[in-house]
Structure 1
Amino acid sequence: METQWISDFAHPGVDKRPRKRPRLNWDVPPPLPPPKALQMIYCSQEIANGTITNHFMPAVYYTGVPRNISPPWRPDDKDGHYVFAIGENLTPRYRILSKMGEGTFGQVVECWDLETKETVAIKIVRSLQKYREAAMIEIDVLQKLAKHDFTGTRCVQIRNWFDYRNHICIVFEKLGPSLYDFLRKNSYRSFPIDLVRELGRQILESVAFMHDLRLIHTDLKPENILLVSSDCIRVPDYKVLSRSAKGGSFFKNLPKSSAIKLIDFGSTTFEHQDHSYVVSTRHYRAPEVILGLGWNYPCDLWSVGCILVELCSGEALFQTHENLEHLAMMEKVLGPLPQHMVIRADRRAEKYFRRGMRLDWPEGATSRESMRAVWKLPRLQNLVMQHVDHSAGDLIDLLQGLFRYDPNERMKAREALRHPFFTKDHRRYGYLN
């Protein structure tokens, strides 16, 4: 996903907590109908005749096995997205099986690779020049990662890339659902702490791997972390059983395997590049980014801390839409911002402070709802203990290191991997990989 430039705005009247953001759907699609009666479906926000739709639309039917021919030329939709039909070919090599998701960058489709006889995911980038340029940078990053990731276990693997009808197409291995989508399918029920430990270890190993290559991801979040497998197991939900929730299911799904990989390197930057602009999705954005102090590797570690809390609780830690409220939430959960960072805040961030020192809260709040949202947040220690039974003390200590305001003091990825939360003997609990 491209770097996000976000301005402040007040909460709309219909904004109700908890705030859940629209996300890409990486769920496993249903199987295709048999080839003899394959239904072709146009997938786009705008069909070539100008009719706008957000859903699949029946278009053409044909019988027999599709031939390896190019589909008819269609103009892109109004946003530069490629317009396609299920069952068509994307070059003679790839046959489109389903649409997997859509984002700022373009669309992701599931395809059958007629050459290697395997299912792949193809990212079809919008035809606008800025997205094409960003895609070429992402390809450069992916190739660098693949060159050094000998085991192929840390980041999604690039298979191929090509330029098709003015769309950069990047071919990836097919993976399972994102951690966010897995949480969503379980009504945002949290993961067991031992699974969180396994997931956290892999996330930090991947981040350390990238940092060793002098790469900064800048957009770490649950929807950019994919399970390798879609298989899951059904287990009793003891938290629901203990409180007999009304209408709640007494079972929840857990991944059968804890193996994960990072995806979406469209915002990844090299160490030597400009680090002054706004990066990261709002809820996972580090304080130095908001204050305009510049950023570097530590911004990824702040995001990892936010992800670990979300996996433990089921909900994003900082569910906010504007900077002042975001900083107020940080102070409520973690304590006051250090004065040396406040003093150095850039001109755009000065308005968040009274007389250049104290956060302008609650005086500067945009609504009573915003004030309540900040007020009801617990301290970090209390939040963790609400959701974690054993290992709570070690997790709190790890999170305090990842959430240090000053990026120079924040825990590094390899330092975090040596923390007792990961190194202690937890065999009596364990999680099956």
Structure 2
Amino acid sequence: MPSQPVASSSTTRKRKRPQQHQYSVSYSEVHEVDHEGRLREVIVIEDTPPPPSTLSPALTASTTTNGGYSMSHQPPIFNAPIRTRARAAAEAQLVSSASSSVMAAPAPKKRKRDPDGGSLLGSSKKVQTNKYPNGSNAIPPLTTKSWASGSGAATDDTSKGPPSCDDKEGHYIIVPDDIIYRRYRTVRLLGQGTFGKVVEAVDTTNNSRVAIKIIRAIPKYRDASKIEVRVLQKLKEKDPTNKHKCIHLLHWFDHRNHICLVSELLGMCVYDFLKENDFQPFPRRHIQDFARQLLDSVAFLHDLRLVHTDLKPENILLVHNSYRAIQYAVPNKVGQRMQKKRILNNTEIRLIDFGSATFEEEYHSTVVSTRHYRASEIILGLGWSYPCDAFSLGCILVEFFTGVALFQTHDNLEHLAMMEMVMGKMPDRFSRSGARSKPDFFKEGNKLDWPKPKATRQSKRDVRATRGLQELIPPDDEINIQFLDLVRRLLAFDPTQRATVREALNHPYFDLDIPMDDFR
């Protein structure tokens, strides 16, 4: 049964009565509040013979016993018998639609999914690659009408009941000025991934800007988000002052079947800065700053027996986006040319997205990490632990130095072939283990079986074009020599031979004093 209507102002309309033997239909639009607290309109149809024509206009108005809003509509005159309720309802719908001045929110565009999968709550194609930006790269404010404050229900005609606040894929429909959890006012959509959406919002209790990660209303994503909440609470408990620069969870709650995680609003992700800077490498001083912070953050996780499993530039956020533009000379065949480059004013970062973080003693998924940063032992199905994070960090640091991803592939065997081009042949012990686990990838003598007869020409060209570490990082001065050695230790094929992040933090590379004006 409908709940008690809400009292509001009422108006009446009266039309000329039809001739004798004609019938009329009365429509009452009543504002009601349902059991979930949402305001909606209900149309009441009464197809009864008209009252005597002697009634006064005041008495012919449709009324409700509870003082609810109502309005009478007189349909056109027909010479037919009494119409059915279905026909009357259809006419009422037309009248209501014509008189409504409120636009309904448009259906959300379908988003393409990441074919590679990646982590459950982070790695996917984004509508907008900024995750928590406070810069100028965010998606422009939406123009659709807001939902009713605090409810998520649309303010348009709701004769068929309030529309869902979700799209077909379980994503929360974002509109500006929506009030979430009676506290957070949405400002704009910042990004979207497999896990859900991230929005910028204002905390109305203190007028501060925050980022809210709104998880899709699908059981597997909700369950995974609860694991992420558990991890984030642990990080905040163990590092209340955020010395180790992991994102801090400010608040979390369940809003209309969506788990919502509130954090500080930060700058764009490092990948976006690279992209907007035409994929030019970072200055070597900045790479050193980033490396020190990242290794410390991941070492902190490992001390808590946590493996991040999805380290990549998209999951590293700048605290501030500000930069200065410089011009510097680049040597070429005819001498040199001047090139513009953006230089960050502040290199402070935060590590984010713990949706795939796993405690060492708990269940380990077979495949983790986003493809380009996936360690060799994961590809070969040999199990994984803390060293897979070290491998991902090695890939990231090389990307900071060159501007582009180290391994650009979507095929496992091709990926392993590229690794051999970069790091040299697999050690015998590791290749023997790999051959037992993935015999299709190896030939006689435990050698990588590349190229396969079915390999495409493009694939073969891509592998041949992959450069070795020493070519990517030419050891022409002490800075590059030490950086190359650090990266080589992080990218070791065999995880048992790979440097731990704690060992990497003590590498001589971090004792070097790199000049601030070193922009190469």
Smaller-chain TM-score range? Answer: 0.7 to 0.9
**Contact 2:490 2:498 survives alignment (8 Å):** yes
Equivalent residue number for residue 70 of structure 1: 151
Matches within 5 A, 1:329-340: 329-340=418-429
Q: Which residue of 1 aligns with 2:500?
A: 412
Encode CA deviations 1:85-106: one digit per residue, 9 max, x unaligned.
Answer: 1121112100000100000100
> Any residues of structure 2 matched to 1:171-210 within 5 Å, and which?
171-210=262-301
1:223-302 map, 5 Å:
223-239=314-330, 242-243=331-332, 250-275=339-364, 277-302=366-391
Report the alpha carbon displacement of residue 276 of structure 1 after superposing the two structures with TM.
5.2
1:95 matched to 2:185? The reply is yes
Of the candidates 137, 140, 155, which is equivalent to residue 246 of structure 2?
Answer: 155
| Contact kept in structure 1, 2:135 and 2:268, CA below 8 Å | no
Q: Determine the C-alpha separation between the residues in 2 that align with 1:74 and 1:67.
A: 11
Aligned to 1:36: none
Aligned to 2:130: 25
Residue-by-residue CA offset, 1:326-366 (whole Å, 9 max, x unaligned): 00000011111122222223766221111361111123562
Quote the offset at 1:6 in angstroms: 5.1
Helix, strand or coil at the partner of 1:146: helix
Relative distance call for 1:29 and 1:354 in structure 2 (3 A) is same
Q: Of residues 431, 442, 448 in structure 2, which corresponds to 1:342?
A: 431
Query: Residue 59 of structure 1: SS of its match in structure 2?
Result: coil
Residues 1:188 and 1:31: Cα distance change in structure 2 (over 3 Å): closer
Secondary structure of 1:187's match?
A: coil
Unaligned runs of 5+ residues in structure 2 are 1-113, 118-123, 154-161
For 2:148 and 2:136, the matched residues in 1 are separated by 23
Question: Given the superposition, is the C-alpha separation of residues 227 and 29 from structure 1 closer, same or farther in structure 2, using an over 3 Å criterion?
Answer: closer
For residues 103-161 of structure 1, the C-alpha deviation after alignment (integer angstroms, 9 at most, x for no partner) is 01000000000012210000000000000000000000000001111321410111100
Residue identity matched to 1:71: G
Is the radius of gyration larger for structure 1 or structure 2?
A: 2
Cα distance in structure 2, aligned partners of 1:364 and 1:308: 34
The alignment's C-alpha RMSD in Å is 2.8
Partner of 1:132: 222
> What does the per-residue CA deviation read over 1:41-73, in whole Å, with 9 as the maximum and x for residues that have no partner?
3xxxxxxxxxxxxxxxx4338xxxx99543315
Please say if residues 305 and 359 of structure 2, whose CA atoms lie closer than 8 Å, have aligned partners that are also in contact.
Answer: yes
Q: Is the 8 A contact 2:150 2:180 kept in 1?
A: no
* Partner in structure 2 of residue 377 of structure 1: 466
Q: CA 1:249–1:175 in 2, change beyond 3 Å: closer, same or farther?
A: farther
Match of 2:144 in 1: 59
* Equivalent residue for 1:325, pick from 399, 408, 414: 414
Amino acid at match of 1:163: D
Q: Once the two structures are superposed, what CA deviation does each residue of 1:298-348 show, in whole Å capped at 9, x if it has no partner?
A: 000000000000000000000111100000000011111122222223766
SS of the residue corresponding to residue 267 of structure 1 reads coil
Query: Which AA in structure 2 matches 1:194?
Result: R
**Contact 2:315 2:351 (8 Å CA) reproduced:** yes
Q: Is the 8 A contact 1:276 1:295 kept in 2?
A: no
- Kindly provide the amino acid, as one letter, of the partner of residue 344 in structure 2: P
Change (3 A) 1:216 1:116: same
Offset at residue 421 of structure 1 (A): 0.7
Secondary structure of 1:108's match? strand
Larger displacement relative to structure 2 (274-283 or 358-367): 358-367
Find the counterpart in structure 2 of residue 368 from structure 1.
457
Asked whether the equivalents of residues 108 and 123 of structure 1 are also in contact (C-alpha less than 8 Å), the reply is yes
Check whether the contact 1:176–1:230 (CA below 8 A) recurs between aligned residues: yes
CA distance in 1: counterparts of 2:515 and 2:136, whole angstroms = 39
Conserved? CA contact 1:179–1:222, under 8 Å = yes
- Residue identity in the other structure for 2:506: R
Q: Which moved more, 1:358-367 or 1:212-221?
A: 358-367
Q: Unaligned regions of 5+ residues in structure 1, if any?
A: 8-19, 33-38, 42-57
- What residue identity is the alignment partner of 1:24? T
Distance in 2 separating the partners of 1:341 and 1:183: 34
Equivalent-residue separation in structure 2 for 1:192 and 1:243 (angstroms): 20
- CA 151–365 in structure 1, closer or farther in 2 if over 3 Å, else same: farther
Contact map agreement 2:130 2:137 (CA 8 A) in 1: no
Q: Secondary structure at the match of 2:267?
A: coil
Rounded to whole Å, the distance in 2 between the matches of 1:205 and 1:364 is 45
1:24 and 1:103 in contact (8 A); partners too: no
Q: Distance in 1 between matches of 2:472 and 2:518?
A: 23
> Could you tell me how far apart the structure 1 residues matched to 2:298 and 2:495 are?
16
Does the aligned pair in 2 maintain the 1:175–1:227 contact within 8 Å?
yes
The aligned residue for residue 164 of structure 1 is: 255
Moved more, 195-204 or 274-283: 274-283
The worse-fitting range, judged by mean Cα deviation, of 161-170 and 271-280 is 271-280
The one-letter amino acid paired with 1:192 is: P
AA of the residue aligned to 2:339 = F
1:21 positional shift: 7.2
Shift of 1:390: 5.5
**Residue pair 1:324, 1:365 contacting (<8 A) in 2 also:** no
The match for 1:51 is: none
